[in-house]
Amino acid sequence: MQLELIKKLFAKHKEQYLSHRYITNKNIEPLLKKLADIFHVETIGKSVLNNPIYGLKIGNGKKRVLLWSQMHGNESTTTKALFDLFNTILDKESKLDYILESCTLYVIPILNPDGALAYTRVNANKVDLNRDAQHLTQPESLVLREVFETFKPHFCYNLHGQRTIFSAGKTNKLATVSFLAPAQDAACTVTPNRRVAMEIIAEMNYVLQKIIPNQIGVYDDAFNLNCVGDTFQSANVPTILFEAGHYADDYAREKTRELIFISYLVSLDYIAKKDVTGANYEAYFEIPENDKLFLDVIIRNAIVDNEVVDVGIQFQERLVNEKIEFIPKVEKIEKLDGFFGHKEIDAKGFRVLNDQGKKLEIGYANVFVILNNEKILLLSK
């Protein structure tokens, strides 16, 4: 598909009912009711707190693709992009029937509805579902495994979001989107099904580089069988981890949402049109591995406790009245020559104090600091 066409489809079909970071069952249920006229929508299980987990089946092709989002409840960007994809598929003018004729998609838009409601990574039992793939101690884990075993996918999309700390390699470039073809053994062997996943990732990377050059990364593929991706890869099903990351000033993750939508369409178009054998996997290894070189704010050349240092600040996400607020918190007070800030402030050798005019310390959390006797807002307006 042509990139410009995909961008136009996103602009036309972006689901306006979903925005920002807090996405729960309450947000998607009205949309699911509308989709039920065309898609097969069902309740496939219940969470710890007895909230429904929904599944959608789309298409009738032989190539089966399983997608699940919000395994971590506070990672919602990929969920928003799924509903943009659904809207696009619904519109006959999009001319995507060939995807549905070649592929059958099974989608779990929110696997962890309790975590989504509380805006936490873990479920109501404080279990990380992405570390429960072997023991299957949680009802949500059992739901996903049941779908995997009954749907018998040829491809799996494990959809996540990542923090603002990640860089694409050891550079000052953001890892705005990241991928991984998970390992399936401790030796991280490049197996035939990993090659298939790598080939699809390489295609998505090729297209995304035209929009966000040098801002795509891959994760370390260290093997952990307790992770769902590693488990499904070990079952010889090509599995792809998607990570929606940070784009400059995009704390609502709306630009990243578009990039994930583009990734969905590029990959599904590729799967639908080609017999993906894994032969073209080598370009995957040209994508740099993620590092953790970013902070949300760095105040350079500041005087703290009579020393010239840099102050590293990371935003904490808090759920307040069904909205996500960002609270700046001091994480580092040291020279940060190897780090980069999404926002950088040059203190020019002036003293930096907390909002009470007292010594700045690690753990201080507020939207202001005092620099040269003036209040400085740490958040972007």
pLDDT digits (tens, 9 = 90+) for 184-198: 999 999 999 999 999
pTM above 0.85, yes or no: yes
User: Beta-carbon neighbour count of residue 358 at 10 Å?
Assistant: 10
Give the residues across from 346 on adjacent strands: 300
3-291: CATH number: 3.40.630.10
- Rounded Cα distance between 327 and 314, Å, is 8
For residue 286, the model assigns a pLDDT of 97
What mean pLDDT comes out for the span 81-86? Answer: 98
**Helix, strand, or coil here: 32?**
helix
Q: What tokens were used for 318?
A: 């808090």
Q: What angle do CA 193, 198, 204 make, to 5 degrees?
A: 135
What is the dihedral sign for C-alpha 81, 85, 88, 94?
positive
Q: What is the largest CA-CA distance in the chain?
A: 68
List, in sequence order, the alpha helices (H) in the chain.
3-13, 25-35, 77-90, 97-102, 113-118, 139-151, 192-208, 228-234, 254-273
User: Beta-carbon neighbour count of residue 1 at 10 Å?
Assistant: 17
For residue 380, the model assigns a pLDDT of 74
Residue ranges of domains in the chain: 3-291, 294-377
What mean pLDDT comes out for the span 292-296? Answer: 98
Give the residues across from 298 on adjacent strands: 312, 344
At position 226, the amino acid (one-letter code) is: N
Q: What tokens were used for 163?
A: 């923090």
What mean pLDDT comes out for the span 14-28? Answer: 98
User: Beta-carbon neighbour count of residue 136 at 10 Å?
Assistant: 15
For residue 381, the model assigns a pLDDT of 53
Q: What tokens were used for 381?
A: 């307006």
For residue 355, give the nearest of 325, 380, 331, 378 by alpha carbon: 378
294-377 matches 3-291 in CATH topology: no
Element housing 241 (H / E): strand 239-244
The superfamily (CATH) of domain 294-377 is Urease, subunit C, domain 1 (2.30.40.10)
What mean pLDDT comes out for the span 21-37? Answer: 96
At position 257, the amino acid (one-letter code) is: R
**Strand 340-346 versus strand 294-304 pairing type:** parallel
pLDDT digits (tens, 9 = 90+) for 153-180: 999 999 999 999 999 999 999 999 999 9
- Mean pLDDT for all residues in the chain: 97
What mean pLDDT comes out for the span 86-95? Answer: 95
